[in-house]
Amino acid sequence: MSEEKRTSLESIGEFGLIEELTKNFKSKRESTIYGVGDDAAVIDKDGENVMLISTDALIEGIHFNLMYTPLMHLGYKAVVVNLSDIYAMNGTAEQILVTIAASSRFPKEALEELYKGIEKACDFYEVDLVGGDTTSSVSGLMISITAIGTAKKEDVVYRSGGKENELIVVTGDLGAAYMGLQILERERSVYKANPEIQPDLDGYDYILERQLKPEARKDIIKFLKELDVKPTSMIDISDGLASELFHLCNQSKLGAVIYDEKLPIDTSVSTTAIDFNISPTTSVLNGGEDYELLFSIKQEDFDKIKGNPHMTVIGHYTAKDSGLYLVDKQGSAIQLKAQGWNHFA
């Protein structure tokens, strides 16, 4: 490293950094079907089936605050965020490896709580814990999970497979986890200012659950198979709809139009957002941690998903030159910016 050149991580951003660090790596193995750049790596098993591998870390102080995150929930969530990436490839999650680094602040009992959550998620999603690593940390807790899944090679859905005019679909509803976080952060500030005041969490069950105990959309992968719909491109929504739509458009070399009035937003998200002076649309576009799936389907598949309560068509792909737009409720087209979470900002 030369003395004079110092590029701040903040200026380059997470995705720019990954690209810079990995650009010189060329695939040496025939079995590596797809490496860096999608929700999971795709590794050939036997010519017909593939293994899907993905890893994600949760760091205390960055991804969670133990003041309001029960350790059992944290363990559950750490598994869910990883499985979500396997489902985003249209795969079946099968195994996980769990690495933890904990400071001396954590007794055995605390880590047992964490593992109770991991166990619950393993049971619910039917995956096996098959290994990991345990180490100490100078300060705080870190959990890194690697998820392994399988799929038929022909069933794998990449971010890059979209085509112009295809419909853009999102599962569930969006923005809730972000609003849940706002409530928890508000109550934390209130508590810090005056520890006598009890947290006021009444009436926020849904958004708090979406923040503290999210679920991955294993069910959607099953529904899509039953409906005989294979998405043409897909990603999971971890960093906010805008950021994920940018990834799909970039990799599919397309533009997109989505419609504000179509965005699935729970009423509790809208009312809480308005209380916080945030537009509900902003919580959807720039929030995060929804762990819903964002995908595209061929126009002719529309009838198969029409009326399905779990899936909403929010727009369509356009030509690359057309850019990415949100049409607001007044009919004006607003250009989207990829304002997902930037961990270095």
Binding site for ligand ADP (CB under 6 A): 18, 21-22, 36-39, 56, 85, 238
174 CB burial (10 A radius; 0-12, 13-18, 19+):
buried
Residue number with CB closer to Mg ion (292 or 301):
292
In the complex with Mg ion, the residue whose CB is nearer, 280 or 340, is: 340
| Residue with Cβ nearer ligand ADP (21 or 319) | 21
Vertex 258, ends 256 and 264: CA angle to 5°?
140
Q: Which is nearer to ligand ADP, 39 or 301 (CB)?
A: 39
Is the C-alpha dihedral spanning 113, 66, 97, 226 positive or negative? positive
Residue 37 interacting entry, from ligand ADP, Mg ion, none, C-beta within 5 to 8 Å by type: ligand ADP
Of 98, 169, 163, 135, nearest to 319 by C-alpha is 163
Measured from the CB of residue 250, what is the shortest distance to ligand ADP in angstroms? 12
**Tokens linked to 131:** 């290994």
Is 39 or 187 the residue whose CB approaches ligand ADP more closely? 39
Q: Which of the stretches 27-35, 43-51, 229-237, 315-323 binds Mg ion when contact is defined by CB under 5 A?
A: 229-237
| Residue with the CB atom nearest ligand ADP in the bound state | 39
Element (H, E) at 292: none
Q: Answer yes or no: are the C-beta atoms of 159 and 317 closer than 8 Å.
A: no
Report CA torsion sign: 300, 303, 308, 313. positive
> Minimum Å distance from CB 39 to ligand ADP?
4
Q: Could you tell me if 77 and 58 are in contact, meaning their C-beta atoms sit under 8 angstroms apart?
A: yes
Residue 7 interacts with, from ligand ADP, Mg ion, none (CB under 5-8 Å by kind):
none
Write down the least CB distance from residue 206 to Mg ion, Å.
23
For the bound state, the minimum distance from the C-beta of residue 155 to ligand ADP, rounded and expressed in Å, comes to: 19
Residues 252-311 that bind Mg ion (CB under 5 A): none
Q: Which of ligand ADP, Mg ion, none sits in contact with 301, Cβ below 5 to 8 A by type?
A: none
Closest alpha carbon to 294 in 237, 238, 246, 336: 237
Shortest Å, Cβ 74 to ligand ADP: 17
For the CB of residue 276, give the shortest distance to ligand ADP in the complex, in Å: 25
Q: Is the dihedral of CA 6, 9, 10, 16 positive or negative?
A: positive
Report the sign of the C-alpha dihedral through residues 30, 32, 35, 39, in that order: positive
Stretch that binds Mg ion, among 82-90, 123-131, 225-233, 315-323 (CB under 5 A): 82-90
Residues 336 and 246: their CA atoms lie apart, in Å, by 9
Q: Which of 38, 94, 113, 236 binds Mg ion (CB under 5 A)?
A: 236
Q: Which residue in 85, 166, 239, 292 binds Mg ion (CB under 5 A)?
A: 85
Q: Where are the alpha helices (DSSP H) in 196-235?
A: 205-212, 218-227
- Supply the minimum distance, in Å, between the C-beta of residue 191 and ligand ADP: 31
Q: Which residues contact Mg ion (rule: CB under 5 A)?
A: 39, 85, 236
